[in-house]
Amino acid sequence: MPIEDKDLLSIQEVRNLLRAAKEAQKILATYSQKQIDKLVEAISESTFAKRVELAKMAAEETGFGCWKDKVIKNVFASKVVYESIKEMKTVGILKEDSEQKIIEVAVPVGVVAGIIPSTNPTSTVIYKALISLKAGNSIVFSPHPGASKSIIATVDIMRQALIDLGAPEDAISVIHQPTMEATHELMTSSDTNLILATGGNAMVKASYSSGTPAIGVGPGNGPAYITPSADIKKAVRRIMDSKTFDNGVICASEQSVIAENSNNLAVREEFTRQGAYFLSPDQADKLSKFILRPNGTMNPVIVGKTAKVIADLAGITIPEGTRVLLAAEHRVGPQYPYSREKLCPILAYYVVENWEQACELAIEILMGEGAGHTMMIHTENQDLIKEFALKKPVNRLLINTAGALGGIGATTNLAPALTLGSGAVGGSSSSDNITPQHLFNIRRVAYGVKELSDIRQEAAATETNPLDNVNQEKLIALIVEEVIKNFK
């Protein structure tokens, strides 16, 4: 019996998918805005109709999170994202400026490679397909092996929606034999025009080193600072809701809490009242051994699990009904698990003297991991918000809201998205919540507004007596003023 080489087969599959996607995109490039919008609407409706089925499938396959919360994420991806993008102009002429004599035209990037994690598989696939199609692109998905069945099922639903409309089904496709080699082939192929990567640091770095333009998003590690002016009951409720939503697998969810000495006791009491449990030093030490693997990466055993399951794994006893585990911490660094990203209901708990210390601690936490991503502040102090806004190395500073849902734009007016750029400080090419507007280029048609003789005449006007500095500066100022007028 011949031995099949899975790696080679997966590489060949990617090449076939990319060729088909390229041909499909050529057809999409001929579509009007109305035709593209019809496709996007069909994808939205078809996936929304299967939101419960896909949520249950993802939860069962991965063992991460809560299927009921995954239904909400599927609704967010299929409906909320759709509603936010449906009126966007993404095809053809975007803008005509008769005064400046410039025309802007949308140009699809081509074929997008969609790298999908196991933590949010179905919702992320729906979201990335919607924003890619809206921009006139085709997309080929590389699924995490631990979530391939649910991802493939989601893609099948969307492909059928395209078939029903007579559109090219290969505008959306997926690798059926996911391997590292297949993902590498997808990211480095000359037929891939842009990578939209969501995952761990290794995957994001690989996307940026592939030689293909990429928008990559790595881990979050957002601290939540509860100031003395905060409504403590609401602040704790928001943090608890966020950290337990889908058992904490959204990267924008809180990873640590910062309180001050002045409100520490009240904050602790409120957390306990709302179902959190503060671990003893011995319990915290035991649990810390399960948060990270020996290589320093997050242990998948705890990802998306309930507090009870995690406690049982660590061999510690917690009160019945515990929703979130908190561990007192004062250290920050890669060797201190509680100061790292934990995609589950575990929080580090820090206490500081004042807002200045909170500010420095937050920076230290974020620069250790999660730079550029997200931070939460619960406060009524507007001046303090501005101080943090000026200094924090994040691109989403969320005020009085749950991190997980605020970061993706569900409880804030940020652009609804499941890919959150961390900017240059976080190693990302964008600091935005990613939308269709990041997935097309703009071709600019620019009319001439002056002749070379005009430029020479302006230059000649500066050839005054070099000793007459005052007069020369006035002339230069007049020329600069004239140039500025041309651009207003």
How many Cα neighbours within 13 Å face the side chain of 294?
Answer: 0
Instruction: State the pTM of this model.
Output: 0.91
Ordered structural domains, the chain, with CATH: 6-218+435-442 (3.40.605.10), 222-413 (3.40.309.10), 453-487 (no CATH)
Burial environment of residue 97 by CB neighbours within 10 A (0 to 12, 13 to 18, 19 or more): exposed
Burial environment of residue 321 by CB neighbours within 10 A (0 to 12, 13 to 18, 19 or more): exposed
User: Which listed residue (66, 251, 344, 359) is catalytic?
Assistant: 251
Are 112 and 139 contacting, i.e. CB atoms less than 8 angstroms apart? yes
Helix and strand counts by DSSP (H, E) for the chain: 18, 15
pLDDT tens digit sequence for 114-160: 999 999 999 999 999 999 999 999 999 999 999 999 999 999 999 99
C-alpha 7/C-alpha 16 separation (Å) is 14
Q: What is the pLDDT of residue 54?
A: 98
Q: Which residues contact 5 (CB under 8 A, 6 or more apart)?
A: none
Can you spell out the DSSP letters for 8-38?
HHHHHHHHHHHHHHHHHHHHHTT--HHHHHH
For residue 251, indicate whether it is catalytic: yes
C-alpha 264/C-alpha 282 separation (Å) is 21
Q: Is the pLDDT of residue 220 over 50?
A: yes
Q: CA 148 from chain center: how many Å?
A: 20
Local confidence band at 482 (pLDDT 50, 70, 90 cut-offs): low
Local confidence band at 484 (pLDDT 50, 70, 90 cut-offs): low
Q: What is the pLDDT of residue 295?
A: 84
Q: What is the pLDDT of residue 294?
A: 85
pLDDT tens digit sequence for 308-354: 999 999 999 999 999 999 999 999 999 999 999 999 999 999 999 99
Sheet holding 194-198, edge to edge: 172-174, 138-143, 111-116, 194-198, 214-217
Q: What is the pLDDT of residue 468?
A: 54
Structure tokens at 222: 């957002």
What are the residues facing 140 on neighbouring strands? 113, 173
Cα of first residue to Cα of last residue in the chain, in angstroms, is 73
Mean pLDDT of 272-294: 95
Local confidence band at 11 (pLDDT 50, 70, 90 cut-offs): very high
Beta-strand runs (E) in 263-388: 276-278, 324-328, 346-352, 372-378
Look over the chain and give the mean of its residue pLDDT values, rounded to a whole number: 93
Local confidence band at 462 (pLDDT 50, 70, 90 cut-offs): confident
